[in-house]
Amino acid sequence: MIVRGPRVVAAELALVAVSASVVVGFGRLFLGTSWRLPLLLTALLVHASSALVRRLGMGILGQVAAATVGVALLVGWALAPETLRWALPTTETWSALGAALDDAVRAYPTARAPVEPSDGFVLASMVGVAIVALMANVAAFTLRAPLQALIPPFTLFVLGALLGSGEHRVAASVAFIITALAFVLAVRGIEIATSTSWLPGDRTRGPDAHMRVGGALIATAAVAALVVGPALPGATEEPLWTWRGGGGGGDRTIISPLVDIQRRLVNQSRSVAFVVESPTPSYWRLMSLDEFDGRQWRMSASMREVSGVFDPMRGAAGARVRQRIEIRSLDSEYLPAAYAPIALEAGDASVSWDDRSSTLLLDRRAPTGFRYEVESVLPDHSPEQLRAVDGPVAPSVAQRYLQLPELDQRVVDLAEEITADAPTDYDRALALQTFFREEFEYSLDIPDGSGTDAITRFLFDDRRGYCEQFAASFAAMARVLGLPARVAVGFTEGDQGGPRDTTFTVRGADAHAWPEVYFGGLGWVPFEPTPGRVAPGASAWTGLEDESADEDDPSTTPTTAPSDTTVPTIPPELEDSIFPPELEGDGAVGSAGDDGGPIPPALRPVLAGSLAVAAWFGLVGGAARGVHALRRRRAGSDPGARVGLAWAETVELLSWRGRPPRATETYLEYASRVGPSSPSTAADLTDLARAATVARYAPSVGDDDVVRATELGRRIRRSVLDRLAWWRRVLRAGDPRRLWAAVRSAAGHSSSPRKRSRILWLVEPK
């Protein structure tokens, strides 16, 4: 029987809300909000296509086909729009998505929630949401098993809860529970509306009354959960485990934030990321990326918790600048600061620091309004100082900052050609900067990417790009020339209120990347290859006009005067503390000697899924046993009730096997219809039906009748279960239909077909 009408539409919308609540829960996995729209559109698309296909009279295969085509198109539009042709995916689309997924698979073992929503992670999430939404639709509206429909979204929600951060834990859980209850309420309304157990004129028992009472209970439960939930033990504790082990300390590999730069730039976001009070402008740096595997740049870092003074460069030459920073919409765990930070005041916040990359990392996403103060020593170098740096690169520096994947030979030849007349490392870096600024154009209208293929395409085909391509190509070519290089990621100085205003408003559109080159004894020196960009305070060595400089502004005075001779800004005795001669592995979690915690990363998804399944089976099985025990206590010593219980438990099992009683048949009619499908129990079922009928209408029932009815019920149920395959018996242990039927019976719904509401959502026999 196919049921249509506004009540079914209400149930469909309630199931959409369940999927939406699961998607909202992904906020504990991802930073920012860019992932929300693709995931919500995926869920809505699958639900809408399934509803349309059902109304066209098509079955499960039609729903699968419609959802597959729709999601494939949506993924292309959302994640690789530049590869589409006539709005349709091409082979380039699938190649780009495959590469993104490969990056996500490689980053997963060392990623820690919440992570940057890279294309690969978003793609995997879209596929997961689509599968869950499709399974829920098929179960609820095609197989008519509404409780089973909640299993897929429940499983995905639990996985997100186990792997995600602790933020919004109570709110996310309440949202899922409330939407799930609303779906069950809508389904129950359909059952009552099609039942023969109420009269249309009875306003106190019909589906409308049911919806009013149920809605009030759900609203009350929601308010209670939101009020009481945060006070419960464990509500603010850390997640069961993180995607990568460890806390604030230990080695980490951070996925490249370059994946987010193009989105920020293309969207030209005017939202304020953070506000800085500083006497001088600067590039506000988040991190540096030192590992290049041919696909992307990453940061490897050995983090340690810090507070107060923490950097050995505190005695280095340069202007010291104190910044007061307030986070607005940055939504990141990385804390911006002018390079190079040497001291921090962040109250009670837990902040980690990496010496090698000069990166500050909060233990969670920085909330809106988070304030901290940081002191930095700004680089202060002259061309003469930089040219004077000579000699081989220290082995510890070369091991980390000269490694390269296999590059196109044309890239190597081009780097050597550009710098052929440059006598020093500094002149070679300057030649690279001049080459990019004079020979290339700035444009956002190109595919993102900083891997070897993207670099080759940028250098020899496109010859235009944005900061990601300029910085990554500069760093790769510098390494070709033997210059230790890395990619810094952060923001430009932002908007200054006036020439003497010390407040800088930094927006999403100010996101930027630039290369840094290491000079022995002086440290890391930034360069600016991106046309149209000028790093504040760097004109002395970049040769670029610093438009923000104000000669009349005495607010920043170097603590050590510049000199034409080589004056190390990193004391020689501290060189090895910043670049230890012996590196442990590659400094990244997930290497051979580090499993990221007590649970191997590869086993965490398996263990999470196993725990979710075990929790579900335990919940359903335990609740079903509890309801059965309650019914037996209610039956007590009443012979008639005990005979009725034997019949009810038998009918529940047969209903689970696809043979539910019809709304118009008696016990004996039911036994007569179902018996032939199981000849070995047909006679026992007829006898039990006769005993249950007598018990229901006869004035008295003897103890012998109870014993016989109980034995008949046990024999029938044992025979049915013995004929099941082992895996069906296992599935039955977690099948919520057992609990659904038991609760209905315990609530007073008799198994007498003439008295009970019809369970039309169970599969009717053909």
Mean pLDDT of 604-619: 69
Instruction: Name residue 67's amino acid.
Output: A
For residues 261 and 357, the answer to whether their CB atoms sit within 8 Å is: no
Report d(CA 641, CA 634) in Å as an integer. Answer: 8
Q: Is residue 711 part of a domain?
A: yes
| Cβ within 8 Å of residue 76, ≥6 positions away | 83, 84, 88, 89, 93, 97
Mean pLDDT of 603-613: 66
Residues 20 and 82 reside in one and the same domain: yes
Residues 496 and 568 reside in one and the same domain: yes
- Dmax over CA atoms of the chain, in Å, equals 114
The answer to whether residue 243 scores a pLDDT higher than 50 is no
Residues 665 and 567 reside in one and the same domain: no
The answer to whether residue 150 scores a pLDDT higher than 90 is no
Residues 708 and 577 reside in one and the same domain: no
CATH label of the domain that carries residue 458:
3.10.620.30
Q: Is residue 35 part of a domain?
A: yes
* Closest C-alpha among 739, 764, 755, 736 to residue 195: 755
Structural domain count of the chain? 3
Respond yes or no on whether the N-terminal peptide bond of residue 340 is cis (omega within 30° of 0): yes
Among 595, 624, 657, the domain boundary falls at 595
Strand partners, 277: 324, 503
Residues 265 and 177 reside in one and the same domain: no
What one-character-per-residue DSSP string does 639-682 give? HHHHHHHHHHHHHHHHHHTT-PPPTT--HHHHHHHHGGGSHHHH
Q: Is residue 394 part of a domain?
A: yes
Among 231, 264, 292, the domain boundary falls at 231
Q: Is residue 757 part of a domain?
A: no
Residues 581 and 491 reside in one and the same domain: yes
Report d(CA 336, CA 282) in Å as an integer. Answer: 11
Q: What is the per-residue pLDDT for 107?
A: 66
Q: Is residue 194 part of a domain?
A: yes
The answer to whether residue 371 scores a pLDDT higher than 70 is yes
For the segment 723-762, what is each residue's pLDDT rounded down to a tens digit? Answer: 888 777 777 777 776 666 655 555 544 444 433 333 333 3
Q: What is the per-residue pLDDT for 703?
A: 82
The answer to whether residue 680 scores a pLDDT higher than 90 is no
For the segment 389-432, what is each residue's pLDDT rounded down to a tens digit? Answer: 877 888 888 888 999 999 999 999 999 999 999 999 999 999 99
What sign has the CA pseudo-torsion 417, 419, 421, 425? negative
Residues 582 and 631 reside in one and the same domain: no
Q: What is the per-residue pLDDT for 763?
A: 30
Among 595, 620, 655, the domain boundary falls at 595
Q: CA neighbours within 13 Å on the CB side: how many for 321?
A: 29
Q: Give the H or E element holding residue 338.
A: strand 337-338
Residues 420 and 480 reside in one and the same domain: yes
Q: What is the per-residue pLDDT for 751?
A: 46
Mean pLDDT of 688-694: 89
What sign has the CA pseudo-torsion 41, 46, 50, 52? positive
Residues 560 and 619 reside in one and the same domain: no
Mean pLDDT of 286-310: 73
Residues 618 and 581 reside in one and the same domain: no
Strand partners, 524: 518
Q: Is residue 754 part of a domain?
A: no
Q: Is residue 763 part of a domain?
A: no
The answer to whether residue 6 scores a pLDDT higher than 60 is yes
Q: Is residue 672 part of a domain?
A: yes
In percent, the amount of the chain with pLDDT more than 90 equals 24
Strand partners, 298: 291
Report d(CA 367, CA 373) in Å as an integer. Answer: 16
Residues 623 and 550 reside in one and the same domain: no
Residues 415 and 301 reside in one and the same domain: yes
For the segment 59-91, what is each residue's pLDDT rounded down to a tens digit? Answer: 888 889 999 999 999 998 888 888 888 888 888
- Domain ranges, residue 732: 605-746
